[in-house]
Amino acid sequence: MAEALKERGLTPTHIVSSTAMRAKTTAEIVAESIGFSGEIVLEPRLYLATTTDWHFVVKQFPEAHETILCVGHNPGLEQLLRKWSGEEIEMPTAAIAIVDVTATPWGDFDRQVLTVTDVLRPKEL
């Protein structure tokens, strides 16, 4: 999946992960695979996050970063993508939703300023 990100020119400048061991390990594997040298931010709110939790976390992203990788869990991620896009989006393990956000700064984030542009699923690549 890291290769899929690199092929699309989506190398994150910031990584935020749930504190769950599986999510943290996934974030570390992706970071190593893409040569990410920054710190992986472990965010406790992303463990069993609701759409409200996700909204709060996104609004707190550092302004200097434009490409951010978030590692989280279901059912929260699918609920979040449904709320953001109005569509049912299946997110199996290791899937990546690519979301284009036009808000700057992050503190101005609102779901009306984003578009889910693609979903990468391991079995489809």
| 70, β-bridge pairs | 16
The percent of residues in the chain predicted with pLDDT above 90, rounded, is 60
* pLDDT tens readout for residues 110-125: 766 678 999 999 999 8
DSSP labels, 31-61 = HHHHT--SPEEEEGGGTT--HHHHHHHHHTS
- Enter the pTM of the model: 0.89
The architecture of the domain spanning 2-112 is 3-Layer(aba) Sandwich (3.40)
Two tokens at 4?
Answer: 């899929």
Query: C-alpha angle with apex 91: 90 to 92, nearest 5 degrees?
Result: 110
Reported as half-sphere exposure (CB side, CA atoms, 13 A), residue 117 has a value of 9
Per DSSP, helices labelled H in the chain are 2-7, 21-34, 51-59, 76-85
| Res 62: pLDDT | 87
Which tens digit of pLDDT belongs to each residue from 26-63? 999 999 999 998 999 999 999 999 989 998 998 899 88
